[in-house]
Structure 1
Amino acid sequence: MTPYRTLSIALLGAGSVGGQVASLLLQHGDELAARTGARLELAGIAVRDLDAERAADIPKHLFTTDARELILRSNIVIELIGGIEPAREYIIHALTSGADVITGNKALLALHGAELFDLAEQVGAQLYYEAAVGGAIPIIRPLRDSLAGDRVERILGIVNGTTNFILDRMDTSGEDFATALAAARQLGYAEADPSGDVEGHDAAQKAAILATLAFHTRVPVESVYREGITGVTLAQVESARKAGYVVKLLAICERLSDGDGEGVSARVYPALVPAAHPLAAVHGANNAVFVQAEAAGSLMFYGAGAGGLETASAVLGDLVSAARRHVVGGPGVAESVGADLPVLDISRVSTQYNITLAVADRPGVLAEIAGIFSEHGVSVETVEQTVAAPAVEGTATLVIGTHTATEAALSATVAGLSASDAVVAVQSVLRIEGE
């Protein structure tokens, strides 16, 4: 048998994911060699603090604080330190030194992906990033490779486990937002500062990555429309359940066509998902990505969206791919962004809406409200009216469902409702997705 060649692997970071990657690489070295045709030798692990507590099965001699030196003597570099700097600097250093790079750094890719992919193409290297979206769920490779010859029309994704856990607790356990968030913190699903999750920043970064892949068009994160879940109330969740919906924070990437031509939309917001839709059954901190393609039809990828061991699985999958490329030879596969479609503003999106209003409890109010909707070209599909609690005597609650309308028309309608004497307050506006 031909002896295996040896590839040196540099690991940057030894946190929950990095520690698992190191342990699995050391434990399953023989199996990985048989799968790749190369012996994968862990050359070292770059960390900030050599004295920090580490997993007992990782030899201490592997740790170093000199990341740049470690990179220079490695064929493949795995970046798992997170954040923007020095991660960006290290990846640039690795690519320019001839190494392939594997990263799970969604924030860095969303902000500087174009620069890094361009550099990788220039030097003939490859940048792998399966772990950046969906944890253990294989979604990057299917979009980049399996569906590369198809035309992806739409992606609906639950891509943040923290927010899904919170909304699921509100729906299934009847907890309010604060109580569900406290439970997420206690179980380790939410950070001490959960704003990146609950305000939708994490999901927006992932939406930018997915849209760029799906539509072969660079979609910067600043072009992703974003709303978080901090304004979602228990009353909204309960009302949604009674109407046959579940509230989910969705990352939506969509190909849009109208009289002005074709473009793409990437957006993140809490939405009403029909209870019969597969995404409605995604519970706890799990993630799922629902893809609609012209030829392949509807596909769903489901699984753990976070966790050290689960994310390490995605990293090792990329490592096997990178090692096989080194064994076979040839340049890296360039990023496919030749479509160069315009990224459209949220105002161009069309969907259905569910609007909750507190209105004056007097004759003629329904006609006034209907007139405002008609004035702005938004067609009303359903109206539910209930008398409010005594604490707000003299008002009633209207829950209005619309037919499909544009965001621009909906925004004008909400402005008209807010200015009307018949409306005490526009309590909520939720979009309906997946019907």
Structure 2
Amino acid sequence: MRVALLGCGVVGSEVARLIVENGDDLAARVGRPLELAGIAVRRKRERPGLPVDPDLFTTDATGLVSRDDIDLVVEVIGGIEPARSLILAAMKNGASVVSANKALLAEDGATLFAAAQEHGVDLYYEAAVAGAIPILRPLRESLVGDQVQRVLGIVNGTTNFILSSMDETGAGFAEALDEATALGYAEADPTADVEGFDAAAKAAILASLAFHTRVPLGAVHREGITEVTAADVASAKAMGHVVKLLAIAELVDGAVAVRVHPAMIPREHPLASVRDAFNAVFVQSAAAGQLMFYGRGAGGAPTASAVLGDLVAVARHRTGGGLGPGESSYADLPVRPMGDTLTRYHVSLDVDDRPGVLAAVATAFARHGVSIQTVRQEGHADDAVLVLVTHTARDADLAATVEELRALEIVRDVSSVMRVEGV
């Protein structure tokens, strides 16, 4: 079974090493040996310590995937192009594909699935979400007879490390980001992580699988963590909560709601204990109930583990003459806009410390049909800090309430607004 590898970076080099070093075990599991037939790279260079014949490296990726002797293609180069064109060319040539490309799957998964069906090949992509954690295949296969109701996850290790550091040390965002960069958890340009783009792509994939509906990346509401302050984290701690960047996909009244944003969750929630750069996904379904998947969400070896799992699966299918499950989008549910999504807010206000302030604030909430659950007030000379947590309401109504609060003469500043989840 001849394998073409596209990319030989951190993940690709681990995939190549595992194919070579675990060759006997993989052959026993597949029923036929797996042989590396070529590795496409941007430029040829020495890779000391990698147990691969240097003659396998090529800069002609298109030529590699178009070869008639290639059975399986592993794509770990990332991005939209040339990855999409290479995958489509491989499928047209009859090769099954294993990909770790979350951006491409979230952006244009429909094209890839259609091509896989047309050419009778597999498309597997476990490594695209949460690294080594097996979450996509349970959604795609193990829970296919159940009705998934909600998926709640920490799917970005960089942001989880930053927020964990802020919670443990009291540091601000910039300081925690510097620490993450120094330790290698954050890229030189961390925008995709800290602004939520990475998590949003993963949320789109999770939602599409969980609810049998194509959820385009553009339909995912996205907020990052750059505006999370040390005061937000301290306020969460005071109410027994912790701040996490959450990817949330849920089934609500026959529609799908998908969002990524920072939120406060109770410390007793299973996701609250997920620290550092680890990932975890919490799934709730009608029959199975609550399930938790936890582990390393990034890194060469963990991600390569997921790639090899997919590689063995599709190789077994080719050996046995069958295919795995393709895209399931039969439900075709509408995607609910963020404004209609039900959530709760934690709002911190700097207000005048005088009679009637609380009544005026409560009136603003009531005018938009938002009920207040708790209020905490701390006085500071002529100023006061008012901290309110709401009951569940439409996000649009909560946002409108906050805008009215900003306009009140007695409110000097709306210092913090954050959603509350997991209650």
Asked whether the two chains share a fold, i.e. TM above 0.5, the reply is: yes
Q: Render the CA deviation track for 1:62-99: whole Å, top value 9, x for unaligned.
A: 11111122212310000011111111110010111100
Determine the C-alpha separation between the residues in 1 that align with 2:262 and 2:161: 13
Residue matched to 1:375:
367
8 Å contact from structure 1 (residues 75, 99) kept in 2: yes
Residue matched to 1:4:
none
**Shift, 1:420, TM fit:** 1.0
Give the letter for the 2:331 counterpart.
A
Picking from 81, 87, 99, the partner of 1:85 is 81
Q: Render the CA deviation track for 1:82-137: whole Å, top value 9, x for unaligned.
A: 11111111001011110000000000111111111111111111110000000000
Picking from 99, 107, 110, the partner of 2:106 is 110
Give the letter for the 1:238 counterpart.
A
Residue matched to 1:425:
413
Superposition map of 1:17-166 within 5 A: 17-51=11-45, 53-71=47-65, 72=67, 73-166=69-162
**Shift, 1:332, TM fit:** 4.7
Determine the C-alpha separation between the residues in 1 that align with 2:104 and 2:141: 22
Determine the C-alpha separation between the residues in 1 that align with 2:127 and 2:215: 19
Determine the C-alpha separation between the residues in 2 that align with 1:152 and 1:56: 42
Superposition map of 1:4-403 within 5 A: 7-51=1-45, 53-71=47-65, 72=67, 73-257=69-253, 262-388=254-380, 394-403=382-391
Determine the C-alpha separation between the residues in 2 that align with 1:387 and 1:366: 13
Q: Render the CA deviation track for 1:125-182: whole Å, top value 9, x for unaligned.
A: 1110000000000001000000011000001000000000000000012211111101
Secondary structure, counterpart of 1:98 in structure 2: coil
8 Å contact from structure 2 (residues 148, 284) kept in 1: yes
Q: Render the CA deviation track for 1:341-390: whole Å, top value 9, x for unaligned.
A: 000101111122211111122221111001111111111111111124xx
Q: How many aligned residue pairs are there?
A: 421
Secondary structure, counterpart of 1:426 in structure 2: strand
Unaligned runs of 5+ residues in structure 2 are none
**Shift, 1:56, TM fit:** 3.6
Secondary structure, counterpart of 1:141 in structure 2: helix
8 Å contact from structure 2 (residues 314, 323) kept in 1: no
Secondary structure, counterpart of 2:34 in structure 1: strand
Comparing 412-421 and 55-64, the one that deviates more: 55-64
Secondary structure, counterpart of 1:39 in structure 2: coil
% identical equivalent positions: 58
Determine the C-alpha separation between the residues in 2 that align with 1:56 and 1:149: 43
Q: Render the CA deviation track for 1:385-433: whole Å, top value 9, x for unaligned.
A: 1124xxxx63211100111111121012112111111111111111111
Determine the C-alpha separation between the residues in 2 that align with 1:175 and 1:211: 33
Q: Render the CA deviation track for 1:23-55: whole Å, top value 9, x for unaligned.
A: 010001110010110110100111011125454
Give the letter for the 1:410 counterpart.
L
8 Å contact from structure 1 (residues 68, 90) kept in 2: yes
Determine the C-alpha separation between the residues in 2 that align with 1:320 and 1:53: 25
Determine the C-alpha separation between the residues in 2 that align with 1:250 and 1:121: 33
**Shift, 1:295, TM fit:** 0.2
- Scaled by the length of structure 2, the TM-score of the pair is 0.98
8 Å contact from structure 1 (residues 355, 399) kept in 2: yes
Secondary structure, counterpart of 1:193 in structure 2: coil
Secondary structure, counterpart of 2:42 in structure 1: coil
Unaligned runs of 5+ residues in structure 1 are 1-6
8 Å contact from structure 1 (residues 19, 55) kept in 2: no
Q: Output the aligned Cα RMSD.
A: 1.0
Determine the C-alpha separation between the residues in 1 that align with 2:11 and 2:321: 29
Determine the C-alpha separation between the residues in 1 that align with 2:389 and 2:420: 9
Determine the C-alpha separation between the residues in 1 that align with 2:81 and 2:47: 23
